[in-house]
Structure 1
Amino acid sequence: MNDQSVAPRRRDDTTRDLGLSVAILAPRGRDAAVATALLDEVGVSSITIDSLDDLAAAIGGSIGVALATEEALIAADNGRLQEALARQPSWSDVPFIVLTNGKARHRSERSKALIDALQNGILLSRPMHAEELVRAVRSALKARARQYEARDRMRELQVREAQLHESEAKFHAIADSIDQMIWSTRPDGFHDYYNHRWYEFTGMPEGSTDGEAWADVFHPDDQDRTWARWRQSLESGEAYEIEYRLRHRSGDYRWVLGRAQPVRDAAGQITRWYGSCTDINRMKVAEEQLQLVLGEMNHRVKNSMAMVQSIVSQTLRQADSLESARLSIQSRIAVMAQAHDRLVKATWAETSITEVVEAALNPHSMSAGRFQLDGPDLSIGSKQALALTMALHELATNAAKYGALSSDAGHVRVHWRCDDGSESAGFHLCWKEQGGPPVEPPRRQGFGSRLIEQALAGYFDGTAELSYDPDGLRLDLEAPLAGLSRQE
């Protein structure tokens, strides 16, 4: 080797930090000593290796470059060096600088094979200029340092990948544990993720609703407006919110609340959309029922006000004095209020006709036996119950003033039946007064008779006839069975 001096230089920081050194295998002559001195002069650390076995062992350490003479490589090779090179991790490929004895044509086949097996090798012919050696070593150390940098980047990527996998696993665990359908899309709106709750709700196979296939589970009447709202959000970047119906796995359509928010990068560009579907079917049904109830209550209030207006108007028109009118109005409205109370407690559903008759007549029952009630316990609607209560009150009040209840021996028989086995199946109710003073037809029709013959008959969708028999007033109400619960 040419022992020409080289100007000392600062040791490379990366090489120093990594602890990389040059392993020198040159057991003959002064090659090892000269190479060590040259490298030390430029700040490159080196170690001297005595045999191929030692070099093979050093391959698994932190050597940066192997500097070996040609004769040392072929002196006593037993395959351990090749094994050590093969065992290197994927990122590692130790560079070799081989000091050869001349030109390639003078090299033996064995020498050629061993040098070719190194793969990452540089050949320098002897005698070698010192500067060429230093340049070759530095170049090899730089390449080796890059291998370590690649290793560190690979490990960092592996750590990040593991963290990403853990984060993704946590996200899926959270997304699948909540009672909401979670989904996400690309910036263009392409759906590429749904949580387990979505597939559980819709009953669709996993992956079958990716892209635009999700629209197939929307109610046909909701698809156009839902698509229009979604496209508007995609174009404007505005938050997405809409109510629509989704097909449940049962085949029924249920109301859900769909929402989505965009995620933006530092430049403000949308990178993803994250959305959810919340099952609001119960709330929606309850809201619709509430609207129906409010509509029904509004209708009932109007009917009640109309009845109150009729009571006041008819009573004032036919009363002999204001005091008489006042008492009649108070009595009639009180009975109406009591009937309303019973219907409210029954939530305005069907109620028992027996309870209606007893409640209407109890205030007029001054002693036992004045009323005889007989009939099956049928169910009647709220409108029919209110009309029957008012009619019975008018009959009882009239009976107490002029009819059977005005006499101690008088009584009233109220009976009803249901002829559901005949061809003209229907309902029959009869009010019959007995034991009172002789009855004469009235000279004019009062509020009570109007209420009975018109309102009562109308609510039951039947006929109501008052008969002024001399031995007692009689009412006959006949209606079809459907009239017992008919709603307007």
Structure 2
Amino acid sequence: MSVDVNEVAEAEVALRTSEARQQVLIEGVPQLVWRAVDHGRWAWASPQWTAKTGQAEADSHDFGWLDMVHPEDRPLAMEAWAGAIDGAEFHADYRLCHPAEGRYRWYQTRATPVRNDRGDIVEWLGTSTDVDDLRRLQKRQEVLLAELQHRTRNILAVTRSIISRSDDGERSTEDYVAHLQGRLAALARAQVLLTRAAGTDVDLEGLIWDELLAQAVSEDQISAAGQSVAISPKCAEVLTLAIHELATNATKYGAFSRASGRLDVGWSIETRDNRDWVVILWKERGVPVIDAFPRRQGFGLELITRRIPYELRGHGTLELKPEGIESRIEFPLRSGESILQTDAGSH
């Protein structure tokens, strides 16, 4: 029997070309590619496996790859292999070690059986796809959805409270409408602050100035300064309404109601029992004592003396001094505290 040498040579070249293409393809995909035999015993792993996990390819053979799986996820991975013995596809999501990041990342792992002419499984071809960022985004979306639902309920509850506490049976219709519009506007400003960058802290100075300037008063009557402080969304919502009530009272009865009036607002951070506390001092001057205090004590006083302690685990006081109103608001600084933890308006 004669053999065509040229045909053999061409076949060998074609085989090498095919293998080279396969190697380029395998090394070019972002997934970790591997081969396994019975019960999940690995026989080969692509270079991506070593690049991501730091484990040498040879060390991944047999069940060595399990060393890179998070200890809590190893039973799940082996259960998935046990369920795939009958020929079903292998599906499992587990975390793999990433030394470069010093943590584990989630991977979606899938494998398909390769069968011979008799239909017997001879090996498995599998891929592990990094889905860690996707899972984090999905989790973030769930949190944001829950936050939106809670915030909607919270806004409605606060609005209901504002409406009921703005009418004491003595106000004129015009006065009632003005109070209600002012409070709803303050609530709207709070929501704008919270939605500029969802889940991020709010600048305290900007919050205070927004409420003061909303009263359209002269800045010459105001001194407002303090340390740079970022407060959580939860604190921002409560504080916006509290500062609004103080500023509204100052406009009607206090420092902003006369040219001689002055307002000093200061804030700072104090350390108490190894925790940072925010302290806000509101002092009005140049106001006759008889005119300084609000005619009706309701929503604003409740915000400062009751909801500051309840919502922010702090303290709030409102006192009449010889020259005007003084208020002290203090609460522990809890950066990043979500609006989900707010119970505003429910009590």
**What TM-score does the superposition give when structure 2 sets the normalisation length?**
0.82
Q: Does 1:264 align with 2:112?
A: no
Q: Structure 1 pair 249/483, CA: closer, same or farther in 2 (3 Å)?
A: closer
Deviation at 1:278, TM superposition (A): 1.2
Structure-1 residue corresponding to 2:156: 305
Letter in structure 2 aligned against 1:270: I
d(CA) in 2 for partners of 1:156 and 1:484? Answer: 74
Contact kept in structure 2, 1:461 and 1:479, CA below 8 Å: yes
Structure-1 residue corresponding to 2:88: 238
**Could you give the per-residue CA deviations for residues 378-434 of structure 1, whole angstroms, max 9, x where no partner exists?**
332222223222112112222222233233333322233445599998543222223
Q: Structure 1 pair 397/188, CA: closer, same or farther in 2 (3 Å)?
A: closer
d(CA) in 2 for partners of 1:356 and 1:323? Answer: 28
Structure 1 unmatched runs, 5+: 1-148
**What TM-score does the superposition give when structure 1 sets the normalisation length?**
0.61
Structure-1 residue corresponding to 2:103: 252
Structure-1 residue corresponding to 2:237: 386
Which of structures 1 and 2 has the larger relative contact order (alpha carbons within 8 angstroms, sep 6+)?
2
Q: Structure 1 pair 385/270, CA: closer, same or farther in 2 (3 Å)?
A: same
Q: Structure 1 pair 437/348, CA: closer, same or farther in 2 (3 Å)?
A: farther
Contact kept in structure 2, 1:459 and 1:483, CA below 8 Å: no
Contact kept in structure 2, 1:229 and 1:240, CA below 8 Å: yes
Letter in structure 2 aligned against 1:170: R
**Alignment equivalent of 1:338, drawn from 182, 189, 205:** 189
d(CA) in 2 for partners of 1:407 and 1:342? Answer: 30
Structure-2 residue corresponding to 1:463: 315
Find the structure with the greater CA-based Rg: 1
| Percent of paired sites with the same residue | 30
Q: Does 1:178 align with 2:29?
A: yes
d(CA) in 2 for partners of 1:424 and 1:166? Answer: 67
Structure 2 unmatched runs, 5+: 342-347
d(CA) in 1 for partners of 2:285 and 2:310? Answer: 27
**Could you give the per-residue CA deviations for residues 355-384 of structure 1, whole angstroms, max 9, x where no partner exists?**
111111002133342323233333322222
Q: Classify the secondary structure of the residue corresponding to 2:125.
A: strand
Q: Structure 1 pair 256/432, CA: closer, same or farther in 2 (3 Å)?
A: same
Q: Classify the secondary structure of the residue corresponding to 1:246.
A: strand
**Alignment equivalent of 1:361, drawn from 199, 212, 222:** 212
Contact kept in structure 2, 1:403 and 1:433, CA below 8 Å: yes
Structure-1 residue corresponding to 2:345: none
Deviation at 1:161, TM superposition (A): 5.8
1:447-462 aligned at under 5 Å gives the runs 447-462=299-314
Q: Does 1:400 align with 2:251?
A: yes
Structure-1 residue corresponding to 2:324: 472
Aligned length: 337
d(CA) in 2 for partners of 1:317 and 1:227? Answer: 68
d(CA) in 2 for partners of 1:233 and 1:398? Answer: 72
Q: Classify the secondary structure of the residue corresponding to 2:58.
A: coil
Q: Structure 1 pair 238/173, CA: closer, same or farther in 2 (3 Å)?
A: same
**Alignment equivalent of 2:69, drawn from 218, 221, 239:** 218
d(CA) in 2 for partners of 1:159 and 1:187? Answer: 35
Q: Structure 1 pair 159/188, CA: closer, same or farther in 2 (3 Å)?
A: farther
Q: Structure 1 pair 159/412, CA: closer, same or farther in 2 (3 Å)?
A: closer
Give the root-mean-square deviation of aligned CA atoms. Answer: 3.3
Q: Structure 1 pair 161/273, CA: closer, same or farther in 2 (3 Å)?
A: farther
